[in-house]
Structure 1
Amino acid sequence: MKKINILSASLAILVFASLNVSAQIKLSDIFKKVTEKQGTNTAATGTPSTFEIGQGIKEALQIGVSAGADRLSLKDGFLGNLAVKILMPPEAQKVERTLRGIGLNKLCDNVIVSLNRAAEDAATEAKPIFISAIKQMTLTDATNILLGNKDAATEYFKRVTTSQLMQKFSPIVTTSLNKVNATKYYSDLTTQYNRLPLVKPVNTNLTEYVTQKAIDGLFVEVAKEELKIRGNLSSRSTTLLQKVFGYADKKKI
């Protein structure tokens, strides 16, 4: 009898323990699923803190400006992009038409290609300048960009980087124009034109012209990336970006 009682007690303990473990496992699973669901719902929603806004804007802009600058610094980054392709300076477009009219197409093409190659060289130096501007951005700047116009970030970059870009790009463009023979080609082109009777001589500061056009092209690409992040949900590649720009979407409704 004693043995039977001991055996019964042991079985009871084992059954209870088994049930208890099973209950713990089930409760644990339920808790885990609820926690994960809550985490998923809240991580990318709600009102972001000022710090999160700052970090989110900086993350988004770093992705955008890096992509834009990288594209333009590739071969044909300017030449193959109709939105930023550098054409003849305005005062030289009549020259181009005249020279093409007398069969000097190759000379004109050489000038255009070389101008764009110079801009592509200069674009390689843009990213560090933009990244520096992002790092120096205040929380107020970040909030104004997030809740501002669709080009608020681009306008911010224009305001704080244009002077630095001009200083950095100018010597690079000068070197590149010489390297790709742009100066020579353009000199040949204007010389040919200026020899024609009754024409007004044309003179252009190529370095200044190409530098400005290169910077304009950069801002075109930055604006494109800014619109993508603001309007394309799939471009919000992290939880932080989803939360910050989701909040901005709600504020603008």
Structure 2
Amino acid sequence: MSHFRDKIVWITGASGGIGEALAYRFASAGAKLILSARREKELQRVKDACEGDGENIAILPLDLEATSSFSSKTQAAIEAFGHLDILINNGGISQRSLASETSLEVDRRLMEINYFGTVALTKALLPHFTSRGQGHIAVVSSLVGKFGTPYRSAYAASKHALHGFFDSLRAELYKYPIHITMLCPGFIHTQVSVNALTADGSPLGEMDDAQQQGMDPDTCARQMLAAIASKKEEAYMGGKEKYGVLVKRFIPRLFSRIVRKTKVR
């Protein structure tokens, strides 16, 4: 996709899943990449597997809970290739537990990583985009950022919060222009459920049936790049679960009956 040739793209959560698939897609499109996640070894693996010149890919370890480091991390990302064109806020963590059984500490951790980590990194980079008068922020939310389902109460809350923040930010930045795209995947075949937090904060350690049968991450990444290239405000990826957005909006009582009977684990 020639739109991204020589664009400088910073991807968080790039060590696996959707983030890894996005790295491969952007690299094949000729972009220069900064790959971030906590696991440096896995970032190196992704870099080595990317198409093209390795000199066009920088590794920048990043922990979304360590917000005090974001100023220096952002400066390092800018210095890697001189500036940034696109930030992909993809890093995060999911949840698989009933709300009534989930400790408040788990609720707080989901918000700290998914919401505050994303918002803090965006705020750290925003002066760079506004000073250049351009930029694009893509946020990997979720379909549960549009509606809630069982076993994902805190996860859904953190993703809903992102929509509220970035819808407001989009309105504030219209004059620059700085574009914001909310990307909402449904069931994607990744390790997200394996790493999801349970009621006591421990990882689930197994893949959901729904995740197992989900969309291939490369297909998801291809659709995400198309949405970013088109400067869409919001886009949905996945199977029939995508239609939940419309059912929730226009027939909410029907949606409530469907979602409580749907197997989401």
More helix per residue: 1 or 2?
1
- Structure index of larger Rg: 1
Scaled by the length of structure 2, the TM-score of the pair is 0.23
More strand per residue: 1 or 2?
2
Scaled by the length of structure 1, the TM-score of the pair is 0.24
Structure with greater contact order relative to length (CA < 8 Å, sep ≥ 6): 1
